Amino acid sequence: MLPGFVRDRAFLRSRGATRSAGQFLTLAHSLAATLPDRPAALNLCERRDNFLVAFVAMLIRGQVCLLPPSRVPAVVNEVMAEHPGSYVLDDAFVEHVRPDQRPPSLALPAIPSDRVVVLGYTSGSTGRPRPNPKTWGCFAACTALNSSRLRAASTALGEESLPWIVATVPPQHMYGMELSVLLPLLGGMGIHGGRPLYPADIASALADVPSPRILVSTPVHLRALLESGVDLPEISAVVSATAPLPAELASAIEWRFGTVLLEYFGSTETCIVASRRTAVDDAWNPYPQVRLQPAEDGTQVDAPWFTAAVTLQDVLEIRADGTFTVRGRNADMVEVAGKRASLADLTRRLASIPGVADAVVFQTDDADSTAVRRLAALAVADGMTAAAVLEKLAEAVDPAFLPRPLVLVPRLPRNEVGKLPREQLLAALKR
């Protein structure tokens, strides 16, 4: 059986009932017996409980779990074309399976540490999604570190406790995979089977599991939760990732819900490699044995559980004590007439204008006469005009970096974890 996966312990809260680890594994074995004999499958289950069952069934059958960046048909077809012989596992496929009353085993086969068990795709926020293979050894090492940092963040999450996770992020995203799939499987935690999105649904899901509770979410969901005024049951810890979390938002979450907020730093390419308590720390604390090295095109990251070093576009300032701060991304820096600016900083300034609820500044594919790609922006600003927003932005930004066009939209085309795929941004400019 999986490490820490004790047969009788509570494991999954789903549809108003609690399943033990043994009951869950029985269902996974039953599903595994029905899977086609193929090398890989796209796990498109929207319900987290179904995703978990499907993932473990694929582990049992020795199949690779493909995690596409989106569940839209065109993207799914592209991934399947890249992996001949693959098939789709969805909620309907999983839910027709009934648990075998006499399963052949209540354990997983031994999984070699170098076996690739997941192929995760980047989100496409910086270009075409790219596949990234993940081995079982990598997942085991990362999960141990994620669990250790999380349990150390709150006294209620000690090694003897059984924390329950409620997550707003989909399991197909690597952050969701690490925190809402692998932590329950390898970290001795329970998991709520749903994926609540709206504040009232998040409150309901948290109330549906016992304490100590952990909320795994994103800056977009956390801001909506704070602004809703909804009351939550006691939460021992909140985890955030997928986008930078403003320190003031982290502080407000901690104060409003009487909890501690831990932010994780990672990527699909590396998994999580560092953390910080954002309300009090500006620097990130890397995991033990994670090596960071400045590179010409970003930062090289390596660790014993990597199959090879990875170069991230993030530009890091590494301090003498080993902690680091993020100065931006190589792809994020814009140079016009000898002047440099960060797209992230331009976005922050645009979003801080009174009346602007959400915004993004980015580069288009069109270049001017000097071969510099033009800046554009999308903003959500009810009751304002684009001209009025641009006028306010001009008070805080060098004229060389004013986005043109600046288009007002009802909402930004964020995906399930709050990221903005580049193709969607460019499409929104043309509507």
Evaluate whether 149 touches 241 at the Cβ level (below 8 Å): no
273-297 average pLDDT score = 93
Asked if pLDDT for residue 327 goes beyond 70, the answer is: yes
Contacts of residue 50, defined as CB under 8 A and 6 or more positions apart, other chains included, come to 91, 94, 95, 193
Evaluate whether 88 touches 76 at the Cβ level (below 8 Å): yes
pLDDT per position as a tens digit, 175-201:
999 999 999 999 999 999 998 989 999
Contacts of residue 14, defined as CB under 8 A and 6 or more positions apart, other chains included, come to 47, 49, 192, 193, 194
In the prediction, which pLDDT does 369 show?
47
In the prediction, which pLDDT does 250 show?
96
80-105 average pLDDT score = 83
Half-sphere exposure of 151 (CA within 13 A, CB side): 16
Sketch out the chain's domains with CATH numbers.
10-228+251-262 (3.40.50.12780), 341-430 (3.30.300.30)
> How many angstroms from the chain centroid is the CA of residue 304?
23
Mean pLDDT of the chain: 88
Q: Which ranges of 322-384 does DSSP label H, i.e. alpha helix?
A: 343-351
108-124 average pLDDT score = 86
pLDDT per position as a tens digit, 218-247:
998 998 999 999 999 999 999 999 888 889
| DSSP code at position 62 | T
The pair of three-digit structure tokens given for residue 78, joined into one six-digit string: 């592209």
For residues 61 and 98, which has the higher predicted lDDT (pLDDT)? 61
Q: What is the DSSP string of 240-307?
A: E-SS---HHHHHHHHHHHT--EEEEEEETTTEEEEEE-TTT-SSBEEPTT-EEEEETTEEEEE-TT-S
Q: Which pTM was predicted?
A: 0.82
In the prediction, which pLDDT does 410 show?
92
Q: Which one, of 114, 113, 11, 4, lies nearest residue 53 by Cα?
A: 11
421-431 average pLDDT score = 84
CA R_g for the chain: 22
pLDDT per position as a tens digit, 131-166:
899 999 999 999 999 999 999 999 999 888 899 999
For residues 121 and 202, which has the higher predicted lDDT (pLDDT)? 202
Report the alpha-carbon distance of residue 237 to residue 219 in Å, rounded: 15
Q: How confident is the model at residue 123 (pLDDT cuts 50, 70, 90)?
A: low
Q: Which one, of 136, 147, 105, 145, lies nearest residue 1 by Cα?
A: 105
Q: What's the sign of the alpha-carbon dihedral 428, 367, 269, 299?
A: negative
Report the alpha-carbon distance of residue 10 to residue 19 in Å, rounded: 6
Q: Kindly state the helix (H) or strand (E) to which residue 185 belongs, with its residue range.
A: helix 183-186
Q: What is the DSSP string of 120-161?
A: EEP-STTSS--EEEEEHHHHHHHHHHHHHHHHHH-GGG-TT-
Q: Which residue's entry shows tokens 């081995």?
A: 135
In the prediction, which pLDDT does 213 show?
97
Q: How confident is the model at residue 331 (pLDDT cuts 50, 70, 90)?
A: low
Contacts of residue 49, defined as CB under 8 A and 6 or more positions apart, other chains included, come to 12, 14, 15, 191, 193, 194
Amino acid in position 128 = R
